[in-house]
Every structure is written in C-alpha cells, then in structure tokens.
Structure 1
Amino acid sequence: MSLAKKTVLLIEDNQDIRESTSEILAMADFTVYTAENGKKGVELAQANPPDIILCDIMMPEMDGYSVLYLLRKNESTVDIPFIFLTAKSERADMRKGMEMGADDYLTKPFNDLELLNAIETRLQKRGRAIHNVGNATSFEGLRNEAKSAKLLNELSGNSRLHPYKKKQNIYLEGDHAVTVYLVKSGQVRTYMTYQNGREIISGIFTPGDFLGYESVLLNMPYAENAEALDAAELYLIPKNEFNALLFKDAGIANKFIQLLSGNIQEKQEQLLKLAYNSVRKRVADALINLAEKYHGATTETCEIKVSREDLASMVGTANETISRTLADFKSEKLIQKEGSTIRVLSMEKLRKIKQ
C-alpha cells in the first residue's frame, strides 16, 4: 500500500514531540497538519477531515477523550481512524479510550517503525472497509457468519470492528459493562479466576456469537473475563445503541431473552456436571461440546484444536489429569492426538461414556 498523499492530523501539546513526530511523518510522504491542543484539533478535523488522526490524551483546554467523543459525534469525522498517543501505560486508561471508539494507541516513547506500522495498518483497514461498501457479495458473506442475519444487520451496521491478537484480553471481570460484542472471526473464551489462580472456562464463542450482553442488560460489571483464543475480529456495540435497538425491535429483544434463558440453563447443567460427573465423563462431554460448536451436531469424526490447559479449565481439573484421561481415550481408540490437535474418531462412543 502506498502511503503517499495521505493526510495526518497530529494533536499534541508537547512541542518537541509534535515537531519530531511531524518530521517522521513528512519523511514518510504524509501531509501533516498539527494542533497544539484538543480544541484546535477538533476544529481542524471538522474543517478539513484527514485520513487519520493521532491524538495525545493529557492536554490543556480539551483532553484526548473529549476530542474523540466530539469527532465520533460528527458525521464528517466519525469514521476517521483515531490513534491515541499516551504516556499513560495503565490498562484502565488504554481500555477507556478503546471503549470510546479509538482504533489503536501508542505508548510514549514509541519508535519510528511502531508509529508508521500503526498508521499503515489502520489506513489499510479503512481502505478495505471503503472498498466493501455496497459490495453485495461481501455483505452476504458477512451475514452468513452470524447465527441471525437480522441481528447482524441491525447490530453490526453502526458498530466498530476491532481486531484482537491471540491471548489478548477483551474485557476483565469487574470492568464496567459498556459494550456488547459480536464475534466476526476467530474464537473467544470467557473464564473465571479463583483466589488460587485456577481458571474455569465458562464459554467458547465462535463467529455469530454474542458475549457481554448479560452484564449490559443487567447494568452490572462484567462477571467474567473474555480473551481471544486466537486472532479474532469482534464488533463492538455500544450499550446505548444496543439498548435502543432492543426497545425498538421486539423480535430482537425476544432473541436475547432466548439467549439469556439458554445461558442460564447451560450454566446450571455445567455446575451439575462439575459436581456429579466423573472426570472421564466431563472430558468426554467437553470434547463433544467443542466438536458440535465447531463442526455441528451431526458430525461423527472431526478435529478439535484445544490446549491441555484450556481443556482442564473447561472440565475443572488439573492439567495432569487431562493428560492421563486423553491418554486413556487414545488407547481406547476414541481419539488421536498430535500437539494441541485432537481428532475425535467416534462421537457416538464418546457420548456413551458413563460415570
């Protein structure tokens, strides 16, 4: 991708950082506009919308959060990629910016390559989004990834698509629930951590699944942690837009009532299995659930990619116990195993495993 002739608005109150960053961008063939405070930055962005915005957080007159808020409210600037430049490394500050709609952040001091890579990535993503507008094939493919085409159309239409790296946190237990998430690609797990550090996986989510909506509907902090199992893309649906849509469309509201009811029943069954089923039975059930999740209920043989640690978290036991149980299943010709890939040889036989 050519970076020539792209315009960058740099909003930074520190003169030395502003000048050095402008110099780097100019050398990379960007046209650079600068503002020494948030108020001037908003005025420049609205008067002559740039291709991308770099903005400091802590500034006089108007901080970066206010800048982002105002630009996301303006039709001419709402879709401009926005990257925070911040010396604040605390997770809460970074998370606040991302939840408000920032596309990325760079922590000072950053080097030239980090800066240019972040800009190029965001411009490429923006270019693909523009290219796909009105593309019926692309939209239909997107609709087919969700379990409800109507929900995807309504909820993802005005939401922000955000990429997550493998093992990256999406939200943490206790975080203020301001976003509902819809998985577009990849896999996500939710889990709870106990005082001794032990994890219990409470859910696995694949394309078309929603997560975080229980806490949003109850107006409570997230009750568990969410993490990308591999590289993933999620739609971020703001709480106010989600609630407005539920009030507007009874059909969508009913869909989420069904999801909530199903989740409650599923969690009750999970607790009963943890309490009464043997480890052997719980491992078999976990493999069945994963197989049905990824390959459908009618599959008889399939491959599942799951780590020993994640399987132990799903079953509620130690890693060593999982290893022994999988070794038993392998000797009984129920599965084959290579690394983190498990090939189920007979779903029927797994289902017949008793206590």
Structure 2
Amino acid sequence: MEKILVIDDDKMSRDVASQILTLANYEVLQADNGQSGLEIALQRRPDLIVCDIVMPVLDGYGVLRVAQKHPLLRHTPVIVCSGNADISEVRRAMDSGADDFIAKPFCTTDLLGAIESRLRKHQYAAALLPGDAPPRPALRGERWEDAVRQLVEGRNINSFGKRHLLYEYGCRVQHVYYVLSGKLRTFVRNDNGKDLVLELYGPGDFVGYEALLGEGIYRNTAETLEYAELAVIPREDMQQAIAANAEVQRAFFRMLSKSLERKQRYQLLLAYDSLRRKVAQALLRLERKFGDGQTPFRINLAREVMASIAGTATESLIRTLGDFRNEGLIDVEANGAIVVRDAKRLEAIHA
C-alpha cells in the first residue's frame, strides 16, 4: 500500500484529503505544519507528499527547499495546494520544485488524478538508471490517423459504467480520453441544478482536449451515457504530440473549430427555436452522432439526459415526445427506448 503524507495546518482540509485518500486505498500520514511534516517524512518515507503552502512554523516553500536538498527526500514527489491559484503563485511553486499544483478547495478527481499521475511517473523513473529516463518517442509519420494510433497504443484501457463522471467542471486537466466504445456527453450545470449538454461523443472521439488550451482547467463535466471503454492519455503526451507534429496541430485545431461551430449552432437553436423544434433537433442530433444511417435509429437515454440535450425541462420533453409518438414521428418502446420513424418530418418542424 502506497503512503501519502498530507501536510496542512487546516484540520478540516487535512481530514477531507485523508478521507479521500483512505477510500482510494492509500495509507495516509498527517502533519499540521511543515516542520513536523518533514520529521514524519524522514521517519516514514512516504511515496508522495501533499503539502499546503501557507502554514505556521515552516511553510510549503520551506518544505520544498528542504526536500530538494535532502538525499532521502529529493526524489519524493510533492504536490502543493493553495487557495491562491493565480499564475504567479503556481509559477513560484513549480519553480521551487513542486511536481504539481492543486487549487483549494480541490475536488476528488483533481486530487486523485494528480496523485496517480505523479506516482506513475515516479515509479517509472525509479525503474531506470539515473539520467536514463528517455523522452517518449516522437510520433512517426505525418497523418493524423497515424498519430492517433500511436497515442492510443500501449495506453491503459479503462472501462466505465453508465453515468460515470470522468472529470468535473473546475478540475485541472490530468488526462485526455479517447473513446473506443460507448457514448458520452459533456455538460455544464446552472445554479438551479439544470444540465445543458455541450457535446456528444462516440468511438473515435477525444474527450477533454479543449482544456489543454488556456489555463488547463476543465470548463465542463464529462459523463458516460452507457458502458464505455476509453484509452487514457496523459496531458503531457497529448501536448507533446500536438507540439511535435504539424499535421497533428492542424487536426487538433480543426477539432476545436468544428466543436466551436457546433456549439454556436446549438446556442442559436436554444435561443430562438420553439419547444417542438428543440426536441426534434435533439433527436436528430443523437441520430447524426450515433446512428448507422441504415436502420431506424434507436436510443434509450434517461429523460433528464435527453432534456439536457434539448435544452428544455424534463416534463416539457416528455410531453413533446408523446405528441411526436401520436403523430407517427417516433415510437416509444416499453423499456423507454425511442425509435425515430420519420427523420424528414422531424427536420421540417419549425414551430
């Protein structure tokens, strides 16, 4: 069992982090200031340290300075956390030797993602001779398809059940996901707890790549709509692939451009179209994304999820689906699945 040392003078923050890590099957050590934290680190030799910056006796920067110089601690990963997440604070922490920075209050996926990533890199480096850690090989070939294949080869393939959250709004980017099977959505949630879908994803799509630009924060939440298999690509590897290959850069920005165009069209639909057209376009959006173009399109989603795609209340969606069924536009099966019977008439709905 891997040991994590949590150093934080705020008992509530320390306890929350410890509970999260204990549930994730880590052995947790605690200290309430930097000096006692270093004493525990030297005695117990943790595999990783999570350290607050502002603390009495010895602050987080002091912990980093000592850890960098001490032969028993210089290779121990240190993740610092702070309520002050402006760029100058992040830069100072990284320049002082921190392996990662997490803004407080942190979410579960943010904390666990950062720890798993740093532990994995530390274990890989420890298996090599000093100075022998090779960079990941540059991508060969110039085609986007070749780059994707090489990015996915040898990755961890993770399976996720229905309605599993991959990441949440506001978390720092740790991974980009490549969909091998299944359906996913990204969405935002308003102050009233209503969800609005931004994008739908299926096999062959990347999820979370937009957050690689800018400040590196997820600006949406990603959730599986059914059982899904995803290749998990570390952020650094995706960034390296984009930076090292001109064709990959062009394809990456094409993805961003197309995503932006879809979102703009969707916003116009929500702003100006009628309820009937919103629901009709939601069904057609699902068909275009997940249909095979050969057989009648069939989809079975929770009605609140469909309402988040249509941008309407769940009750309004259910009532409109009932109208569509009565008009022969769709069928609704006993298990709730919807079968599109007349896509042309759905497309023609404007009022």
Q: TM-score, normalising length from structure 2?
A: 0.63
Residues 204 and 71 of structure 1: is their aligned pair in 2 closer, same or farther, counting only changes over 3 Å?
farther
Q: Distance in 1 between matches of 2:271 and 2:165?
A: 29
Residue 56 (structure 1) aligned with residue 27 (structure 2) = yes
Kindly provide the amino acid, as one letter, of the partner of residue 225 in structure 1: T
Residues 300 and 153 of structure 1: is their aligned pair in 2 closer, same or farther, counting only changes over 3 Å?
closer
Name the structure 1 match of 2:260.
264
Contact 2:2 2:27 in 1 (8 A): yes
Q: Distance in 2 between matches of 1:60 and 1:71?
A: 10
Kindly provide the amino acid, as one letter, of the partner of residue 97 in structure 1: I
Residue 316 (structure 1) aligned with residue 316 (structure 2) = no
Residue 343 (structure 1) aligned with residue 339 (structure 2) = yes
Kindly provide the amino acid, as one letter, of the partner of residue 187 in structure 1: K
The partner residue of 2:297 within 296, 302, 310 is: 302
Contact 2:173 2:216 in 1 (8 A): yes
Contact 2:3 2:47 in 1 (8 A): no
Q: CA deviation at 1:98?
A: 4.1
Q: CA deviation at 1:315?
A: 1.2
Contact 2:48 2:119 in 1 (8 A): no
SS in 1 for 2:213: helix
Residue 211 (structure 1) aligned with residue 194 (structure 2) = no
Kindly provide the amino acid, as one letter, of the partner of residue 63 in structure 1: P
Kindly provide the amino acid, as one letter, of the partner of residue 309 in structure 1: E
Name the structure 1 match of 2:141.
none
Residue 96 (structure 1) aligned with residue 110 (structure 2) = no
Kindly provide the amino acid, as one letter, of the partner of residue 173 in structure 1: Y
Name the structure 2 match of 1:182.
178
Kindly provide the amino acid, as one letter, of the partner of residue 298 in structure 2: E
Contact 1:188 1:204 in 2 (8 A): yes
Q: Distance in 1 between matches of 2:119 and 2:215?
A: 20
Residues 101 and 314 of structure 1: is their aligned pair in 2 closer, same or farther, counting only changes over 3 Å?
farther
Residues 71 and 12 of structure 1: is their aligned pair in 2 closer, same or farther, counting only changes over 3 Å?
closer
Q: Distance in 2 between matches of 1:236 and 1:172?
A: 16
Name the structure 2 match of 1:150.
146
Name the structure 1 match of 2:321.
326
Q: CA deviation at 1:193?
A: 0.6
Alignment length (residue pairs): 243
Name the structure 1 match of 2:12.
none
Q: Distance in 2 between matches of 1:156 and 1:98?
A: 19
Q: Describe the superposition over 1:154-184 as per-residue Cα deviations: whole angstroms up to 9, x where unpaired.
A: 2112533222222221110000113211111
Kindly provide the amino acid, as one letter, of the partner of residue 304 in structure 2: E
Contact 1:300 1:345 in 2 (8 A): no
Q: Describe the superposition over 1:301-331 as per-residue Cα deviations: whole angstroms up to 9, x where unpaired.
A: 2211222111111111111101110001000
Residues 337 and 57 of structure 1: is their aligned pair in 2 closer, same or farther, counting only changes over 3 Å?
same
Contact 2:277 2:350 in 1 (8 A): yes
Q: TM-score, normalising length from structure 1?
A: 0.62
Residues 202 and 157 of structure 1: is their aligned pair in 2 closer, same or farther, counting only changes over 3 Å?
same
Name the structure 1 match of 2:279.
283
Q: Distance in 2 between matches of 1:207 and 1:98?
A: 26
The partner residue of 2:245 within 232, 246, 249 is: 249
Contact 1:299 1:347 in 2 (8 A): no
Contact 1:186 1:233 in 2 (8 A): yes
Q: Describe the superposition over 1:86-114 as per-residue Cα deviations: whole angstroms up to 9, x where unpaired.
A: xxxx7254343345477xxxxxxxxxxxx
Q: What value does the CA root-mean-square deviation take over the aligned residues?
A: 2.9
Residue 200 (structure 1) aligned with residue 196 (structure 2) = yes
How much identity, in percent, do the aligned residues show? 29
Kindly provide the amino acid, as one letter, of the partner of residue 260 in structure 1: L
